[in-house]
Structure 1
Amino acid sequence: MASSFALRRLHMRGKGGLCKCLQKVDTFLHRTIGTNAVGRCGSLHAVQAERLEQAQRSILISCYSRPTEKKFLKYLSRHGDVKKYFFYESYGVYAVVEFANRDGVASLLEEAVIPSVSNEALVPFKSRLLSLKNLSSVDSNQQSGLQCQPQTSIPINQLIQRLSREESIDQQVVSLTETYQLTDENIRLRFLVCSLLQDIAAAYFPECTIKPFGSSVNGFGKLGCDLDMILDLDGISGGKPKSVLSLEFQLKRANSERAVTQSILSVIGECVDQFGPGCVGVQKILNARCPLLRFAHQPSGFQCDLTASNRVAIKSTELLYLYGELDPRVRSLVFTVRCWARTHGITSGIPGAWITNFSLTIMVLFFLQKRSPPIIPTLDHLAELAGSADKCVIEGNDCTFVIDISKIQLQSNTETLEHLLREFFEFYATFAFSKMSINIRKGKEQNKPEVAPLHIQNPFETSLNISKNVNATQLDRFVALCQESLWLLQQSGTNTPRVGNRSNTATPWGLATLLLPSQVAGVKSRKKRRREPASERIKGLLDSLKNNSQPKKRKKNTK
C-alpha cells in the first residue's frame, strides 16, 4: 500500500515523531472511510459497495421517548441479530440500526403499523424510517447515560483550546484532522439516507442506485457538510444482448440526455416532496448546468443535493480519494487549510465570489506536486499507469487514471506537516496569480488561457476554470492572509507551546494562533497594492533621496 510505504520511509529516515502522528491519522481514516473488510487497498468502488450493502440492512428509528439501551436492543433482537447501532440527535433522538441480514429489516417492517391521526389524511407510504413509542423509557436522572454520537463539528473556540494543548504543530494538524473529519457513524448515516431515497426512486427505476459522492466519500468531508448524491441508472440490466424481447414499457425517447435527466429529477422530486418521510423544502433546480434536486432531510440533519448525470464529478471524487490514500499528509494538510480558510471567510457555504473548498483542495494538491521531491504524482502520470479497465471518457473528456493504488510508486519525501504548512503559505503568498494557471494534470504552472483573477484548470473538463467565480478582492484577501499566516508561523513567540494562567486554559500557539480572528482583523479590508517594476521603484527611491539631501528653501516673509 502506497501510504504504508510512505510511512515506512519516514521511519527509516529518522522522522519517528512525524511517523507516529501520521500513523495515528492514517489508522483513523482507515477506520472511518473504509471498513476492515475492504482495507486500504480497496478502491472507492469497493468501499462504496460495502457501505451500500450495510445501508440496505439498516433502519432509521425516531425515539420519541429515550429508551434504555438494554431494552432497546432486546426489542430489536427479537427480529434478528443486531450488528451495530448508535444514537444521535437531530430534531429529537434517532437511532441507526444495522442488522446482520435483510431478514431482520423485513421482520421489523412487518410489525410496523400505519398510525391513525384524527382530522388528517395519511398516505400509506412504507419506508425504513420508523417511530418508536411506548417502549418504557428511563427517568430524567438516567437520560444522560444514553450516548449520542456527534454529527456536527465542535465550535472554533473549543478547537483552538484543543490545539493549544498539543505539544507540536504536527500534532496540532493531526488533532484538527481527527476532530473535523467524518466519523464512521456519520458516514453510515449518509449511506442510509441514500438508501432510503433509493427505495423511493426504485418504484420508477428498479435496480437503480443512489450513492453519495463528493466530500461525503472522498475522505475530505467535514462533520456537518452537505450530502451530494447521484441517481445511477447505468447498473440497470437489460437482459441478453441477442434477445428478441425489448423493454419498450420502460423506455421513452427524448431529444437529449439533459432532457431525460430533467424529466427524471422532476418526477422523483415530486414524489420526494409529497411522500418522502422527513424530506422538506424540496427545490427543483432543473435549468442549472447540472440539473439537481435540493432539499433538507430533517431526521439526519443533512442538506441534500440529488443529481442524475454528474459523472465527471464522480471521477473527481475518485481522484481526490486516490490522492488522499497515497499519503496521510495530503488529507491532514487539506483539512488544516480548509479550516483556516473558513475561519477567516476565504470560503463560504453561500454561493458567491469566494474560493470554493474544491478549488482550495486542488491548490493544496498542486502545492504538494511542486515539492522537491513531489509528495503526490501528477494526473498525467496517473493516466500513464492506467490499464485498459481504467479507461474512461465522459462526453469527450478523458477521465482516465489508474485505480489500483499498488501500481503507484511514490518518491521519498520526509517533510513534516509543520514545514509543509509554512511552505504552503509562502508558496501562494508569492504565486504569480496574474500570469499563471494552476494545473494538477501537468503539475506545473501554465500561462492563463483567459482573463480571470484566479485560474485553476478543471482536472477533466480542461477547458473550464473551476475558480471562475472568484473575484480580485477575494484573491487579494487570500494572498494577504497567506502572508500574515506565514509571518505568524515564523515568530518564535507563536510557534512554541505555552501554558495559560489557569490549569484548564491553554494559551493559543502555533496553528491555534492562525485560527484567531484578531490576528487578521486588519487583513480583511486590506487591498493589495499594485507592485511597480523594479526600475520604477529604484528611480522613485533615488528621487526621494535626492530631494531629502537638498536644503529646504526658507519662505519669504510677506508681511
Structure 2
Amino acid sequence: MSLHRVTFWSELLEKVLIADDIKNKRDDAQLELETLLKSKLLSNSIGIYPFGSRIMGVGQETSDLDVYVELDNSFYEYSESPTMEVLKRQRILSNAFNSESSWKRIATYGGRCPIVTVKHTTGLQCDISCLNGLTYRQNKLVMYLFEIQPIARYMVIYLRGWIQSIGLQTSFRSHILILMVIFFLQLHNHLPGIDGLQKNLEPTVGPWVTTFNQLKLSDFKMSKLEVDEDSTRSVLKQFFQFYANFNFAKYAICPYLGRYVERVSFDRHMPQRYTQLRCRDNKFTRFTTAIQDFIFLDFNKGWQIKGMHVRALQYKCRKELE
C-alpha cells in the first residue's frame, strides 16, 4: 500500500468498508461466545464487553476479538499485579471451555493481565480477560477521538496495512500506531491533549482517570479535516515527514499532554497522582522509545521497540516521501 499508487484511495476505502462491517456486525460466532459464557459462568452479575481493533473500527478480517468479562461487578478493580481473586476468575473462564462447543481453548496466559485464548471453528480467535476493564474504557476514548476527527481512523487503517508491508508489524502494533497518529494530530492542532478532555475529572480506578468530557473540537478552536483522497494523502505525507525526523531519543510520544515532552524531564510534566505512584525505575528514559499510554500514565507502550526498528521505520517513512 503506497501513497503513490493510483489505487491508493480505492484500496483504502475498501479497507475502511471492511473495518466498518466488522465493527457493526455481531456475527454468529460472537453471539455464540456470549451465550456460552453466560451459561457457563456461575455469577450473580456478568457483563461481556468486546473491545480492540475490531470494535474501534480499524480491524481487518484476520484481527482477533478481545473481550472483557466482568464478574460480580468487578469492573473498577485495580491492582499492579493479578490478585488471587483475579486468578480464580481466570480459571473459571478457562474451565468454561472444557465442554463441547464451537469455541475451543487453545492457551492460557499469566502476567499482569491474565488471558484465556480461544478459537472458533470459523478461525476467529478471541482473547478473554477479567482484568481488562480499563483497556475497554481506553478504547471508548479512542473511538471518541475517531468520531470527532474521522481522518484519524482512516490514517490508522492505512498505516496498519503499510506497517505490515514493510515488515515492522510486530514492533509497531496497532495500539502503537493509534498513539502515534493521535500524538501527530495533537501536535498539528487537530486533536486536543487527553488532559484537556479529562480536565477537572477525578480518578476512577486507583490513580487513573478513565472517563472524559465529550467536548467538541470547536471548544479547542479546532475543526475537522476533510476526509477525501487529496486531504488524506496530504496528511499521511505529513505523518511520514514528522516521524522520519522525530527525535525518539530526546522526546516521548505523549498523547496525554499532546505536546513535546523531553524524556529526561518527563516526570515533572505529569500530574501529582502519577508522580506519587509511578514505578521506581523510570521506563521513559531507559528504553529506546517512550510511547505513553494515556490512561496508565506510567506505562511505556514502546518498551519493546529496538533501535533497529526505529531506524527502519524512519528509513521507510523517508522512502514514502520520494
Instruction: Tell me, yes or no, whether TM beats 0.5.
Output: yes
Residue 406 (structure 1) shift: 9.2
Residues 260-309 of structure 1: CA distance to partner in whole angstroms, max 9, x if unpaired? 1111111331231x215022243222x311011112122x4211111101
Identity of aligned residues (%): 21
Question: For the residues of structure 1 that align with 2:44 and 2:52, how far apart are their CA atoms?
Answer: 25
Which residues in structure 2 correspond to 1:47-86 (within 5 Å)? none
Matched residue, 1:120: none
Which residues in structure 2 correspond to 1:149-548 (within 5 Å)? 166=7, 173-183=12-22, 186-189=25-28, 191-202=30-41, 204-233=42-71, 235=73, 258-272=83-97, 274-285=98-109, 287-298=110-121, 300-348=122-170, 354-371=171-188, 374-384=189-199, 392-403=203-214, 411-412=222-223, 414=225, 416-448=231-263, 449-487=284-322
Question: For the residues of structure 2 that align with 1:304 and 1:413, how far apart are their CA atoms?
Answer: 34
Residue 473 (structure 1) shift: 1.2
Question: For the residues of structure 2 that align with 1:438 and 1:184, how far apart are their CA atoms?
Answer: 28
User: CA distance change for structure 1 residues 193 and 313 in 2, over 3 Å: closer, same or farther?
Assistant: farther
2:128 alignment partner, SS class: strand
Residue 205 (structure 1) shift: 0.9
Letter of the structure 1 residue corresponding to residue 211 of structure 2: T
CA contact (8 A) 1:230 1:308 kept: yes
Letter of the structure 1 residue corresponding to residue 149 of structure 2: D
Residues 409-458 of structure 1: CA distance to partner in whole angstroms, max 9, x if unpaired? 66135461111011000000000111110001111121124122111011
Question: For the residues of structure 1 that align with 2:238 and 2:92, how far apart are their CA atoms?
Answer: 50
2:192 alignment partner, SS class: coil
Residue 336 (structure 1) shift: 0.6
Residues 110-156 of structure 1: CA distance to partner in whole angstroms, max 9, x if unpaired? xxxxxxxxxxxxxxxxxxxxxxxxxxxxxxxxxxxxxxxxxxxxxxx
CA contact (8 A) 2:249 2:288 kept: yes
Question: For the residues of structure 2 that align with 1:398 and 1:294, how far apart are their CA atoms?
Answer: 29
Structure 1 consecutive aligned stretches of length 4 or more whose deviation exceeds 6 Å: 404-407
CA contact (8 A) 2:176 2:302 kept: yes
Question: For the residues of structure 1 that align with 2:301 and 2:195, how far apart are their CA atoms?
Answer: 19
1:217 alignment partner, SS class: helix
User: CA distance change for structure 1 residues 257 and 485 in 2, over 3 Å: closer, same or farther?
Assistant: closer
User: CA distance change for structure 1 residues 221 and 461 in 2, over 3 Å: closer, same or farther?
Assistant: same
Question: For the residues of structure 2 that align with 1:276 and 1:477, how far apart are their CA atoms?
Answer: 46
Residues 68-104 of structure 1: CA distance to partner in whole angstroms, max 9, x if unpaired? xxxxxxxxxxxxxxxxxxxxxxxxxxxxxxxxxxxxx
CA contact (8 A) 1:197 1:210 kept: no
Count of residues in Structure 1 that have an aligned counterpart in Structure 2: 291
Letter of the structure 2 residue corresponding to residue 178 of structure 1: L
CA RMSD of aligned residues (A): 2.7
Q: Gaps spanning 5+ residues in structure 2: where?
A: 75-80, 264-283
Question: For the residues of structure 1 that align with 2:20 and 2:143, how far apart are their CA atoms?
Answer: 14
Letter of the structure 2 residue corresponding to residue 338 of structure 1: R
Question: For the residues of structure 1 that align with 2:100 and 2:149, how far apart are their CA atoms?
Answer: 41
Task: Give the TM-score, by structure 1 length.
Answer: 0.48
Question: For the residues of structure 2 that align with 1:279 and 1:439, how far apart are their CA atoms?
Answer: 39
Structure of larger gyration radius = 1
Question: For the residues of structure 2 that align with 1:480 and 1:338, how far apart are their CA atoms?
Answer: 17
Task: Give the TM-score, by structure 2 length.
Answer: 0.81
